[in-house]
A and B are shown apart, each in its own frame.
Chain A
Amino acid sequence: MNKVTGRIEEELRDPSTSPSSWTILWRELKKDKLALISLIFLGLTIVAVYGVSLVLDQKQIVRVDLFALYQPPSAEFWLGTDYGGRDVFGQLFIGTRNSLSIGIIVTLLTGTIGILVGLISGYFGGAADNLAMRVVDFFMILPTLMIVIAFVAAVPKYSIVSFSLIMTAFLWMGIARLIRSKALQEKELEYVKASRTLGSSHLKIMFTQVLPNLSSIIIVTMTLNLAANIGLESGLSFLGFGFPESTPSLGTLVSYARNPQTLEYRWWIWLPASLLILVLMLSINNVGQALKRATDARQRRG
């Protein structure tokens, strides 16, 4: 009862606006305890991973130490060492940072491209829409994973950036489709026509008026995409088509488990990374689901 009153009061104080989408998102998150915990966990992980890996010396961590092969967890090596005598704990942090970075970069890049393409083709419609959608169709029927693998094999030296670009090239279509369909709906609304009649430029309408109205759907999609992209990177690295072994990532750590001896006798090498992937994915998804509900008034809990 109290809460409802509070909300009404809040809205009454500023009667000119309905609650912004940010407020709604935040309210939904607060309501869903699991999502809130997930969000806090995610935030802490990101801060810890980026913070600690600033302090860690990557060169030192990937240094092969003949006298410390396969050490079980101890005071010196918190999570033991791998077959090269390298500290798994340090690799876990740097690996998580690398995997997260790729996930974030790819999500932002695909998001940007997808939004631009989707918005333009949805807003203008007609020939531009037709053309853009045929390009999207073309990319969509490509066997993405195969091509990414071929690319990775063909590029002699790849870094976080080039790897992200390769992945981006084949992952922007989904979001473009989504934004286009929403933009198609949106442009038929009165405010767009009114704004046009008042003489606003197309660019202004698209980016300052239509886009903000799509922001909630964008946030939701990108959050869920983030999980998918981290998963994809880990998968590729696991298969041996991601980072080389000298660049730790969650996928390379898990791929140690392909050796039956490691799987059976040396859990400390692959288990922490596997658990971390699981928990990270779950957290991102929890947050994403909560956000998704927030965009649909009928499903809201807050």
Chain B
Amino acid sequence: MRRRLGFKMLLPLMLAFMIGLSGCTSSKGNDAAQPDPTNTQNQTEGEKRQTEDGLFSIKDFSNIKTNEGEAIEGGTITYGLVSDTPFEGVLNYNFYSGNPDFRVLQWFDEALLTWDQNYVYTNDGAATYEISDDGRTFTFTIRDNVNWQDGQPVTAEDWEFAHEVIGHKDYDGPRYGSDFTNIEGMVEYHEGKADKISGIKVLSEKKLQITYLQSTPSLLTGSIWTYPLAKHIFGDMEVGNMLSSPEVREKPIGFGPFKVESIIPGESVVFTKNSDYWRGEPHLDKVVLKVINPTTIVQQLKSGGVDLVDSFPIEQFPDNANMSNVEYLGIIDRAYTYIGFKLGKWDEANKVVVPDPNAKMADVNLRRAMWYAVDNDQVGKRFYHGLRWNATTLIPPSHPEFHDASNPGIPYDVEKANQILDEAGYKKNGEFRTNPDGSELVINFISMTGGDIAEPLARYYVQSWNAIGLNVQLDMVEFNTFYDRVGSNGKDDPKVDVYQGAWSVGIDVDPTGLYGRDALFNFPRYASEENDRLLAEGVSEKAFDVATRQAIYKEWQQFMIEEIPVFPTLYRSQIVPVNKRILNYAIGDGTGVYLHQLAVTQEKPVVAE
């Protein structure tokens, strides 16, 4: 069981858990990344070219399906939810927590605002917005033809109601956080001191006004709660009962292109088209969603058992790159893998990070040498065939505006690593080095099990560090234990010095949720004044100017390379196969391709030759 999760299929799982930036889980779902700007054109060739050394490059993938052939009227497609466990079935944006549930939700419900390739809200969605001059007050207008699937209009009151439910003291979903406390009057309402949220005003049936305490650039990239909750259905329900109610679990409702016809809990969902969809009537008659196991995914795709899947295990790609009946779409994933160093503790009472200058890994030279010692370029090429590649900074290229491509990070250089350790006084005593004061140095490294690559990869890192004379002990633990020990509940295991983790980053670039002083997810427990300053500046008012914000984050990326509380190891890509009969499909953000346009060229899926 342990091995089955993991790098192979655990990705969605792992990422869904790890989502640190509030913007990511809270408002825009999980699946998004930025297509390479040079390659937004459709690629006519279905087969991906492989270089002579067997490598692939995400740059050769399009994120938009090539359209070949004429669409037929109607049609039914099958969508595979790749998972080896059932989906939980919390089918409402205001309550769900797992990525699988999100994959179900996206078919029948959507956000009121849409966003573009840079994750900035646009006025193309079900609602439009205007900002006041001080940047704190937003006025939203929901389009007139936006209706719930039972015929009732989606109103400003529904939107207000969603805020009231999430801010309610009995609310037991995962959404209440800094995005909400930033709304004027929200904290008072949450504590029961006020009946209404003073910052939210219903101006008319379709007009809503929200006033925020602080104006930050993050507001435009994911910090607005854009999912209404149907007041005519949930209005009379106790907030504490909503999560388990049949309206959330069995007969959910939304205003998306399809509506739920039937659900077999945890296994499958049948959707039929919502003729009243505000963008227009969907092409397809029916969508069948079913959970498929990652081990059978290739067979299912070949036989046409599924047309689309939500994710594809990357290590199965090279063997199946030439599958004849699918086209692979690909994007740069909004995520990175990294090695973290424990540098302090979490103060549970004050909810802050307390750095420990005497921590085993406190010496930055030691950390830098460990970065120099690993050859992530080769790791990406050999283990992942180029579909993951050497990471340089802590802002991944999925955010091209802010990723500093000119920063080389720290390249592989064993001699340099040895030299740094020699100069810092780590002398060799036999096979391994000791601390500068002569005491024994044993570094405990933990890594997650799961997938075929997890174990040899972790072992490769240990070997690399052994090669520069560091005595590193590896412990492979399964996913939940791993995050317990690293400190996801605030109780850090003191026996962990180094760990390998991965983060999915929010659509907003602000890294405070992962590296801020008061962030629980700041697992390295690193804090410094310079870091505080840079992070605060990144979301200050002057950061509304993109160039200024870029400069701030450029500085922060460089600062992290000097301080190395963690170092990024690999950037990731996401590859999704799509049956050739499918038209008008895209992955990623701001593509302008919507689910109601989805169509097929023939009744039955194309089958592999």
Instruction: Tell me the A residues contacting B by CB distance below 8 Å.
Output: 62-64, 66-67, 69, 83-86, 239-240, 244-246, 255-256, 258-262, 264-265
Contacts and interface: CB of A to CB of B under 8 A. Distances in A.
A284 B108 CA distance: 60
Interface stretch (B199-207, B246-254, B323-331, B374-382): B374-382
A209 to B, nearest CB: 50
Contacts of A246: 455, 459
Interface in B130-160: none
A240 B3 contact: yes
Nearest to A157: B475
30 contacts: A64-B457, A64-B463, A66-B378, A66-B379, A66-B383, A66-B460, A67-B378, A69-B382, A83-B452, A83-B456, A84-B459, A84-B460, A85-B456, A86-B456, A240-B1, A240-B2, A240-B3, A240-B4, A244-B476, A245-B3, A245-B476, A246-B459, A258-B3, A259-B452, A260-B296, A260-B298, A260-B299, A261-B315, A261-B319, A264-B319
B262 interface: no
Contacts of A244: 476
B3 A255 contact: yes
Contacts of A240: 1-4
Nearest to B297: A260
Nearest to B317: A261
Contacts of A261: 298, 315-316, 319
Nearest to B459: A64
B295 interface: yes
B462 to A, nearest CB: 9
Contacts of B379: 66
B485 to A, nearest CB: 11
A265 B453 contact: no
A205 B476 CA distance: 52
B1 A84 contact: no
B319 A84 contact: no
B401 to A, nearest CB: 34
Nearest to B454: A245
Contacts, number: 56
Interface string B440-477: 00000000000011011101100100000000000010
Given A64-B460, A64-B463, A260-B295, A84 B4 contact: no
Nearest to A265: B319
Given A66-B460, A69-B383, A239-B1, 9 more contacts: A64-B457, A64-B459, A66-B382, A66-B383, A84-B455, A84-B459, A84-B460, A240-B2, A255-B3
Q: Which 7 A-B pairs have the closest CB atoms?
A: A84-B456, A66-B382, A64-B460, A64-B456, A64-B459, A245-B455, A240-B2
Interface in B374-419: 375, 378-379, 382-383
Interface in B283-312: 295-296, 298-299
Given A240-B3, A246-B459, A258 B383 contact: no
B453 A67 contact: no
A239 B4 CA distance: 10
A63 B463 contact: yes
Contact of A258 (B4, B378, B453): B4
A258 B3 CA distance: 10
Contacts of A69: 382-383
A108 to B, nearest CB: 30
Contacts of A84: 455-456, 459-460
Contacts of B4: 240, 258
A65 to B, nearest CB: 9
A254 to B, nearest CB: 13
Contacts of A262: 452
Contacts of B452: 83, 256, 259, 262
A64 B456 CA distance: 6
B57 to A, nearest CB: 19
Pick the most buried of A258, A260, A264: most chain B CB atoms within 10 A of its CB: A260
Contacts of B383: 66, 69
A259 B463 contact: no
A83 B316 CA distance: 12
B459 to A, nearest CB: 5
A84 B296 CA distance: 23
A67 B54 CA distance: 12
B285 to A, nearest CB: 33
Given A66-B382, A240-B2, A259 B459 contact: no
Contacts of B457: 64
Nearest to B375: A66
A260 B316 CA distance: 9
Nearest to B2: A240
Contacts of B456: 64, 83-86
A251 to B, nearest CB: 12
Which residue, of A62, A244, A245, A262, has the highest number of chain B Cβ atoms within 10 A?
Answer: A245
A87 to B, nearest CB: 13
A118 B589 CA distance: 71
Contacts of A66: 375, 378-379, 382-383, 460
Contacts of B459: 62, 64, 84, 246
B385 to A, nearest CB: 10
A83 B453 contact: yes
A256 B378 CA distance: 23
Interface string B1-16: 1111000000000000
A13 to B, nearest CB: 62
Contacts of B455: 84, 245-246
